[in-house]
Amino acid sequence: MSSESFNASLYLVDRQVEAGRGERTAVAGPAGTLTYAQLAARVGELSSGLRVLGVRPEERVALVMSDRPETLVTILAVMRMGGVAVPLSTMYNGVELGALIRDSRARVVVATPEYEAAVRVALANAPEVALLVLTGNVGHRAADVLPESDADAGIPVCSLADVVDAGRTVAEPYQSWTDSPALWLYTSGTTGAPKAAMHRHGAIRDVCETYGREVLGITPDDRCFSVARLFFAYGIGNSLFFPLSVGATTVLDPFRPTPPGVVARVVAERPTLFFAGPTFYASLLASDAPDDTFSSVRLAVSAGEALPAEIYRRFTERFGVDIIDGIGSTEALHIFLSNRPGQVRPGTTGTVVPGYECKLLDDSGNPVADGQPGHLYVRGNSIATGYWCRTDTTRQVFQGEWLRTGDTYLRDADGVYQCLGRSNDMIKAGGIWVSPMEVESRLLLHESVGEAAVVAYTDVNGLEKPVACVVPAAGKTVDAAELIAFCRDGLAAFKRPREVLVLEELPKTATGKIQRVIIRQIATDLLGK
C-alpha cells in the first residue's frame, strides 16, 4: 500500500478552486453549466449526503447515467467520500445491467430518467440493492428511506437533490491513498464475459500527467468534447480526467451521439479538443456536415479501434483537422500508444506514451525483432490492479507488472507500432468489444437456427462489423432481417450482427471445433471484399 494521502476528486476539483480557478467554467453543454466553485460545492454536498445514506468507504455505487453535470458530480462525490464509482454502459438492456449490478455488489444505484425503466428491470435481478437514486423529482425525500425498509415494500427510491440536501453540512473528504480503490470500469476486453477492471485513485492522476499532459498538451484554455461516453475508459478520460486536471472545460451532451447532433454541438460549443472513434469519423464523412464544422478544433483524437489510413486522409483533407490515433484499454485506463500532433504516421498507432513501456512477445514469451509480429504487452502506473472476482482471468491478463493487451502488433526500427489485429476472436464493433459466443447464444435461441458462428467482417472503410454465419435448423428457413431484429431485442444494439449469411454447414476441425479463420474468409468472399 502506498502511504501517500491522495484523493482523485480533490486533485481534479478542489485543487482548481484552491488555485484561483473557481469562477472558470468546468462543465458546459445543453444539460447545464457549472463553474469549478459550483462543481466543488455540489460534489462536497453529495459526498456528505451519500455518507448520511450509509454508503461506506470502498463500497461500490453503480451509475446508469447519460453524460450530464449530475453524472460528473456523482462520480466525483463517490470518490471524494472514499467509495468506488461504477459507471455502467447505458447501451445495455435491463437484464444485462442487472447482471453487472449484482456482480458489483452495489447497494446504491444512481440513474438518470431516461434509463429508469431499464434500471427497474435490472433491480429485479440485483437483490443486494437497497436504494435507487434518480435525478429529478420522484416524490420521496432521502430522509424517508434512511430507516431499514420492509422488503415487501420494494426498493426505496429518492431523488439526487434530496441526497444533496441530506449532506448540506459538507463532511471532510475521505483520507484515501494513491492505492485506494476509486473506480471500476466493466469491460469484455479480450476474454469475453464482462468483468470489472479495478482502478486506484493514483491511476487517475497518472493518465492526466502522461497522455493528457505529454500527448494532448492540454491547457486551461481547452474545451473538450467527446463522442465516447463517460462510462467508457476513453470517454471518462476525455470528458472528466483531462479537462478537470488542468482547469479546462468539458462539454457534456446527454443525447445519443449522431452525426447531426454532434455537428450541432461542435458548432454551438466550439471545442478545441474533439474525441471519437473510427466508426464515428466515418459517419461524419458520410454526413452533410459543413467543411468548416471543426474550425474551432485544434486537435482530434481517435481510439477504440485502429483508424484506417483512408479515413484519416479523407477527414483531415475535408475538415482541416489533424487526427492522432492511439490505443488504450479499460485495463490501462486510457491511451498508452499514440501518434503525436504534427507527426502522424497514417495507418499506425504511433509510439509509446511517456510513462509507459511496451514490448512484443512471440507465443513462447520471447521478444520479437522489429518488423516481426508479436503479442503486445504494456506496463505503467495506470494499469488496473486486476479484475473483480476473476482470479483466473486476472492471472492471464495481468502478468506481473505487464498487461497482455490481446492485440498483435508490429514495431518498426523507429519505434512506431502498427496493429495487425487481435490475438483471439473477439470483435470490436464501433470501438466496443463484442463476444461472438454471446451473440451466437442468442441466435441459437431462434427456432430457425441450427448452428451459428459470429465473426468480424472488415467493411470498405476498414472497420470491423459482426457478421453471423448460420446453418438453418432442419425444415426451417432463415430470414436475415428477422434474425437481426431478434438479436437487437435480446442484446444491446451494438452487439447485433450487421449481416446474416446462410451456409449449408460450418467448417470444423477434426475435433469438432468451429474454424473461425475459414468462416471469416467465407464471410469476406460472400460480402464482396
Whether the pLDDT of residue 211 is over 50: the answer is yes
Q: Residue with C-alpha cell 437483490?
A: 127
| Sign of the CA dihedral with 408 first, then 411, 415, and 418 last | negative
What are the residues whose beta carbons fall under 8 Å from the beta carbon of 369, sequence distance 6 or more? none
Q: How far apart are CA 22 and CA 38, in angstroms?
A: 8
Tell me what pLDDT residue 160 has.
95
Average pLDDT, integer, range 454-461: 88
Average pLDDT, integer, range 446-464: 89
Question: Which of these ranges, 13-22, 83-92, 342-351, 518-527, has the smallest mean pLDDT?
Answer: 518-527
The SS3 of residue 13 is: helix
Please give the C-alpha separations between residue 399 and each of 60, 365, 403, in angstroms, as whole numbers.
Answer: 26, 11, 6
Superfamily designation of domain 427-526:
ANL, C-terminal domain (3.30.300.30)
Condensed to tens digits (0 to 9), the pLDDT of residues 415-454 reads 999 988 777 777 888 888 787 878 988 998 999 998 899 9
Q: Characterise 37 by phi-psi region: left (phi > 0), alpha (psi -120 to 50), beta (else).
A: alpha
pTM of the model: 0.86
Strongest mean pLDDT among 3-17, 148-162, 420-434, 511-525: 3-17
Tell me what pLDDT residue 90 has.
94
pLDDT-derived band at 145, boundaries 50, 70, 90: very low
* CATH 3.40.50.980 domain residues, the chain: 12-23+36-187
Average pLDDT, integer, range 312-326: 96
Tell me what pLDDT residue 482 has.
96
Cell matching residue 245 = 486536471
β-strands 131-134, 402-411 pairing:
unpaired
Tell me what pLDDT residue 443 has.
92
Collect contacts of 146-150 with beta carbons under 8 A, ≥24 apart. 146/52, 146/53, 146/54
Question: Which of these ranges, 85-94, 143-152, 232-241, has the smallest mean pLDDT?
Answer: 143-152
Q: How far apart are CA 83 and CA 89, in angstroms?
A: 19
Tell me what pLDDT residue 100 has.
96
Q: What is the pLDDT of the chain when averaged over all its residues? A: 91
Whether the pLDDT of residue 148 is over 50: the answer is no
What are the residues whose beta carbons fall under 8 Å from the beta carbon of 281, sequence distance 6 or more? 300, 302, 307, 311, 315, 323
First to last CA, the chain: 53
Tell me what pLDDT residue 83 has.
98
DSSP labels for 222-257? Answer: -EEEESS-TTSHHHHIIIIIHHHHHT-EEE---SPP
Condensed to tens digits (0 to 9), the pLDDT of residues 338-371 reads 999 999 999 999 999 999 999 999 989 999 999 9
Better pLDDT: 151 or 271: 271
* CATH 3.30.300.30 domain residues, the chain: 427-526
Percent of the chain at pLDDT > 90 equals 77
Count the Cβ atoms, other than its own, within 10 Å of residue 449.
22
Cell matching residue 225 = 468534447
Average pLDDT, integer, range 47-57: 94
- Cα of 158 vs its chain's centroid, Å: 27
Give the amino acid at 355: G
Q: How far apart are CA 301 and CA 316, in angstroms?
A: 12
Cell matching residue 270 = 466550439
Tell me what pLDDT residue 512 has.
61
Tell me what pLDDT residue 1 has.
46
| Closest by Cα among 208, 418, 318 to 199 | 208
Please give the C-alpha separations between residue 438 and each of 346, 469, 518, in angstroms, as whole numbers.
Answer: 34, 14, 20
The SS3 of residue 518 is: helix
Tell me what pLDDT residue 137 has.
63
Tell me what pLDDT residue 147 has.
39
- Cα of 462 vs its chain's centroid, Å: 22
CATH 3.40.50.980 fits domain 12-23+36-187: yes
Tell me what pLDDT residue 304 has.
86
Please give the C-alpha separations between residue 373 and each of 161, 308, 398, 518, in angstroms, as whole numbers.
Answer: 54, 19, 21, 21
Tell me what pLDDT residue 510 has.
54
Q: Residue with C-alpha cell 451459428?
A: 452
Cell matching residue 315 = 477527414
Condensed to tens digits (0 to 9), the pLDDT of residues 159-185 reads 999 999 887 777 789 999 999 999 999
Whether the pLDDT of residue 378 is over 80: the answer is yes
Q: How far apart are CA 470 and CA 452, in angstroms?
A: 4
Q: Residue with C-alpha cell 441530506?
A: 166
Contact 193, 76 (CB under 8 A): no
Average pLDDT, integer, range 122-142: 82
What are the residues whose beta carbons fall under 8 Å from the beta carbon of 365, sequence distance 6 or more? none
Condensed to tens digits (0 to 9), the pLDDT of residues 473-499 reads 889 999 999 999 999 999 999 999 999
Average pLDDT, integer, range 194-222: 97
pLDDT-derived band at 384, boundaries 50, 70, 90: very high
Whether the pLDDT of residue 144 is over 60: the answer is no
Helix axes 309-319, 278-286, angle to 10 degrees: 50
Adjacency order of strands within the sheet including 351-352: 34-35, 25-28, 249-251, 223-226, 273-276, 299-302, 323-328, 335-338, 351-352
Whether the pLDDT of residue 143 is over 70: the answer is no
pLDDT-derived band at 399, boundaries 50, 70, 90: very high
pLDDT-derived band at 136, boundaries 50, 70, 90: confident
pLDDT-derived band at 146, boundaries 50, 70, 90: very low
DSSP labels for 350-406? Answer: BEEPTTEEEEEE-TTSPBPPTTS-EEEEEEETTS-S-BTT-HHHHHHHEETTEEEEE
- List, in sequence order, the alpha helices (H) in 64-168: 69-80, 94-104, 116-123, 160-166
